[in-house]
Amino acid sequence: MDTLQRRKRLVIGNWKMHGNQASNATLLEELRAGAASVGACDIAICAPFPYIGQASASLQGSGITWGAQDVSPHAQGAYTGEVSASMLADFACTWSLVGHSERRAMHGETDKLVADKAVAALSAGLTPVVCVGETQSEQESGHTSDVIARQLAPLIALGAQQVNRMVFAYEPVWAIGTGLSATPEQAQEVHAFVRKRLESIGASQVRILYGGSVKPDNAANLFAMPDIDGALVGGASLKAQDFLRIAAA
Ligand code: 13P
């Protein structure tokens, strides 16, 4: 059995800061109804914090799992506005994104903080989905692998046992919400680089997702690449039919 067969595909919808109770109810119902027809692929959504309870109530028993878009690095205490991993576990979350480029850029999240959040998620039994990716200027100046290596370093330092329990997502910042997806070959090159780093410490079971303008019409070509194990989908995850078509690909 080759490694491609061993790693089950995973497609996660990142709703970002979109939706309300009424629109979520429709979207969740459509996802629930369509999930069974998608086949052998894990499907998940990451909702805004206030709607995680709604997602949990609606997706129970659907085969679709749910999670958050961020998590506190702290277990509990006087951290106004923060949400702990155990609170997410209390709502039966499976996942938490950590280190999304929007949080790195807008909230100054450092590589070290991202690793601390990943550890906090693991401690509560969640699977962190660790996002890495370079900006357009970093890509244009030929620094993609340096940036990715720097972002990975504090995670790699945690060792294989922890890293094997994570999921990684390569999201080139220049491809997020721009309609400008990386080509399958471009993405594969970075995924292979990430995989090599993870394998260098013996973490060989890790799923690596691609994110950045994934749509129903480019998903199949991306998923055909040997090191792309699925997708982290933004905009297209807000339309049930598009998201399900990506998962079906
Ligand atoms: P888009 O799919 O909207 O480009 O967003 C990607 C993303 O940031 C997912 O986390």
Domains of the chain and any CATH numbers: 3-248 (3.20.20.70)
Convert the pLDDT of each residue in 168-210 to its tens digit.
999 999 999 888 889 999 999 999 999 999 999 999 989 999 9
DSSP string of 2-54, one letter each residue: -HHHHS--EEEEE--S---HHHHHHHHHHHHHHHGGG-S-EEEEE--GGGHHH
CA of 169 to the centre of ligand 1 (A): 11
C-alpha span between 247 and 51 (Å, rounded): 22
Q: Which of 129, 207, 131 minimizes the C-alpha distance to 176?
A: 131
Distance 181 CA to ligand 1 centre (A): 10
Q: Has residue 4 got a pLDDT over 50?
A: no
Task: Output the six-digit token pair for 97.
Answer: 């994104």
Q: Which of 100, 102, 109, 191 is catalytic?
A: 100
Beta-carbon neighbour count of residue 60 at 10 Å?
11
For residue 177, which atom of ligand 1 is closest to its CA? 4
185 is catalytic: no
pLDDT above 90 as % of the chain: 92
Alpha carbon of residue 69 to chain centroid: 9
